[in-house]
Structure 1
Amino acid sequence: MSLYLSVLTPNRIFWDSEVKEIILSTNSGQIGILPNHISIFTSLDIGLLKIRLKDRWLTAALMGGFAKIVNNEIIVFAYDGEMSTDIDPKKAQQDLEIAGANLNKAEDQSQKSEANLAFKRAKTRVEAVNTISF
């Protein structure tokens, strides 16, 4: 038995096919979804999406959103997403360093909030690139 995963962003259909298992980053931690999972609707944090196909795992960076799981169908509405294979590792690392510097320079609460989100996005992209597919 398998699951059907659709990942939609405002600009495109990011993923649309059968999978064996996924791991999502929610606002309360990571959850694994296998066939016959209980129905849920959850918010997603900026974090990794791990997708298991037959015998291999793929990793993507998701920039938050929501997920609905019902009857072995998973629909993810994400603000944005990138497959780890589409991320330039050097650029991702540079972006993380810049985001870290901007976070350290942030002075007021508004700047700190924006800088923290940018840092979290950059960190997730680096984690996606550095996650070993297994």
Structure 2
Amino acid sequence: MSLTLRVLAPDQSVFDGSADEVILPSTTGQLGILPGHVSLLTALDFGVLRVREGNDWKAIALQGGFAEVESDEVTVLVNAAELGSSINADAANRELEAATSAAAQFEGQAPSTDKLKAQQDLARARARVQATKV
């Protein structure tokens, strides 16, 4: 028994296949989905979706969205997503360093549009780096 997983971004279908286990980056923490899981709708944060097929794990960097679990079908609708295997690890690490520096400039400051953008860029960069490490 397995799950059917679909990861859809506005511009592409990132993943469409079967999985034995799915771990989602929900806004309240990591959420594991196995076959037979109860129906569920959850918001997703920036983070890494992990997919297990047999003994192999795949990672997908997500940029927020929603996931629905219904009758062993997991549908993930996200703002953007990238397969971990297609991310250049060196470039992702450089982006993380730059995003960390940019976010640090706003530490202790009142909320602003620039501060929010820097925090989102940092979350995106972290997710991309994590997705390269499966």
TM-score above 0.5, yes or no: yes
- Give a deviation string over 1:35-94, Cα, whole Å, max 9, x none: 010000000011111101122111111111000000001100011111111111111011
Q: Residue 121 of structure 2 aligns to a residue in which SS?
A: helix
CA RMSD of aligned residues (A): 1.1
Is residue 126 from structure 1 mapped to residue 129 from structure 2 by the alignment?
A: yes
- Give a deviation string over 1:6-53, Cα, whole Å, max 9, x none: 110000111111111100000000011000100000000111111011
Q: Residue 23 of structure 2 aligns to a residue in which SS?
A: strand
Distance 1:27 1:46 in 2: 8
Matched length: 131
Question: Which residue of 2 is the match for residue 91 of structure 1?
Answer: 91
> Identity of aligned pairs, percent?
37
Q: Which runs of 5 or more residues in structure 2 are unaligned?
A: none
Question: Which residue of 1 is the match for residue 51 of structure 2?
Answer: 51
Question: Which residue of 2 is the match for residue 109 of structure 1?
Answer: 111
Distance 1:18 1:67 in 2: 16
TM-score under structure 1 length normalisation: 0.93
TM-score under structure 2 length normalisation: 0.93
Q: Letter of the aligned partner of 1:116 in structure 2? A: Q
Q: CA deviation at 1:105?
A: 2.0
Q: CA deviation at 1:108?
A: 4.9
The list of structure 1 runs, each at least 4 consecutive aligned residues, that deviate by more than 3 angstroms after superposition, is none
Distance 2:55 2:99 in 1: 36
Distance 1:35 1:77 in 2: 20
Q: CA deviation at 1:101?
A: 1.2
Q: CA deviation at 1:109?
A: 1.8
Question: Which residue of 2 is the match for residue 66 of structure 1?
Answer: 66
